[in-house]
Amino acid sequence: MTDEREQDLANLREMVRDFLGDRWSEQQIRDVMADGTGGDAAVWGRFAGDLGLASLPFPEEYGGAGAGWTEVGIVLEEAGRALFCSPYFASVVLGGAALLASGDERACARYLPGIADGSRRATLAAPEVAGYRPGDQPRVTATRMDGAWTLDGHVAQVVDGATAELVLVVAETGAGTALFAVTGEPARTPLTTLDLTRPLARLDFRDTPAELVGAEGAGAEILARVLDVAAIALAAEQAGGAARVVEMAVEYAKVRRQFGALIGSFQAVKHKCAEMLMLAEGARATARTALDALDRDDPEVPLLARITGVYCSDAFVRCATENIHVHGGIGYTWEHPAHLWFKRAQGSRLLLGDPASHLERIAELTEPSGLDELTTEAATA
């Protein structure tokens, strides 16, 4: 990486961190948890519109900044640290990656500029996004009548499903799967969620009008790409969250006294904190390596996506768990912020497939036939 690019990335990180430091507080997190909207419209307007952070991964012809996923990763790392509640993940990562992967220039031109300036919030509805395994849930079906498509069925959990203006759906057409943009209105049922900072909703489709995005039959390929990109992007958010909870635990261990001493002077506690730092640093380095691979179109992306899905998910959950433990009783209260990060960690761990499912896929990809698969993907990429 050149010094100039490194400086640009450092500047971007500082800008996002400063902005969130000024504009995002624990009270705002709790407001979002209470109202279920998943974000604060005014802050989002400045974040996406004024700072242009939602435009990062998109080509300039679609209103994007033409930057890379590494830049998106920096934004998400900082968002994860601050537990910034916003449509960023659903809209920019899930929606944006799906449109880009579709290769559908008309749909990209129509939808990406709004995603890029933050005015149109998108999401992707597919069982796999919310962590269901293939076959767990019936897929939405798409039917063509007189050249127009309609959707039927439901998706049990959709990130930001109650609020997204653009819902993209992976549906079964009879000739494989395909990506659709919903032009009608599905029935949206907000769900009670463990992590109240990232709302989920059930979407029901009944004769709901939609437009085909990309080729019929390309749905599986598009979905596979989105799941890779999203797992890596989510890993950056998880790494940021893990770093933050390590800080919280360490800050507390430096002020809390028991037995007449700071608890951070006891080896049982300081070694626990050291182990948390190992996890958080491991998560950050692994996420950044995978983001870099995405930007380089490395043939190992599918493998790295699963590796981040295992390690960064577990690292965040373990750090968030130990953070509560270091705090003791106060960490188990509603008023203390420790549980907010823990619940975000737990919710994130079950997005896009749980670690055990990722391990299963890693096993396939690292067996001889799987290595062929990676090479073939590289050859066709």
356 binds another protein (CB under 8 A): yes
Span from 160-168, 185-193, 199-207, 365-373 in contact with another protein (CB under 8 A): 365-373
Min CB(192)–another protein separation in Å: 33
Interatomic CA distance for residues 118 and 116, integer angstroms: 6
Closest by CA to 337, choosing from 247, 235, 263, 238, is: 247
Strands 200-213 and 187-190: antiparallel
- Of 132 and 266, the one with the shorter C-beta distance to another protein is 266
Window contacting another protein (CB under 8 A); options: 11-19, 226-234, 246-254, 346-354:
246-254
HSE of 235, CA atoms in CB hemisphere, 13 A: 35
Which H helix or E strand runs over 203? strand 200-213
Contact status: 29 vs another protein (CB under 8 A): no
Q: Is 153 in the site for another protein (CB under 8 A)?
A: no
**Which residue among 148, 187, 274, 378 contacts another protein (CB under 8 A)?**
274
Candidates 54, 304, 317, 340: give the one binding another protein (CB under 8 A).
304
Cβ neighbours for 362, distance < 8 A, ≥ 6 positions apart: 303, 306, 307, 310
278 part of the interface to another protein, by CB under 8 A: yes
Told to check if 51 binds another protein by CB under 8 A, we report no
Q: Is 255 in the site for another protein (CB under 8 A)?
A: no
Angstrom distance (rounded) from CA 328 to CA 158: 34
Q: What are the backbone angles phi and psi of residue 2, rounded to the nearest 5°?
A: -75, 160
Q: Given the complex with another protein, which of 215 and 359 has the nearer CB atom? A: 359
Q: Which of 3, 140, 118 is nearest to 53 (CA)?
A: 118
| Separation of alpha carbons 381 and 135, rounded Å | 27
Residue among 2 and 27 whose Cβ is closer to another protein? 2
Q: Does 88 bind another protein (CB under 8 A)?
A: no
Residue 307 beta carbon to another protein: minimum distance, rounded to whole angstroms: 5
Secondary structure element (H or E) that encloses residue 144, with its range: strand 140-145
325 lies in the binding site for another protein (CB under 8 A)? no
Q: Answer yes or no whether residue 336 interacts with another protein by CB under 8 A.
A: no
CA dist., res. 245 & res. 281, Å (int): 12
Q: Does 307 bind another protein (CB under 8 A)?
A: yes
Q: Which of 15, 359, 374, 377 lies at the binding interface for another protein (CB under 8 A)?
A: 359
Question: Is there binding between residue 285 and another protein (CB under 8 A)?
Answer: yes
Residue position matching structure tokens 């993209």: 168
| H or E element in which residue 279 lies | helix 267-295
Residue (92 or 246) nearer to another protein, CB: 246
Q: Which of 84, 76, 43 is nearest to 57 (CA)?
A: 76
Give CA separation, 21 vs 24, 171, 235, in Å. 6, 41, 22
Of residues 121, 198, 244, 288, which one binds another protein by CB under 8 A?
A: 288
The site for another protein (CB under 8 A) is made up of 246, 250, 253-254, 262, 264-267, 269-271, 273-275, 277-278, 281-282, 284-286, 288-289, 303-304, 307, 310-311, 356, 359-360, 362-363, 366-368
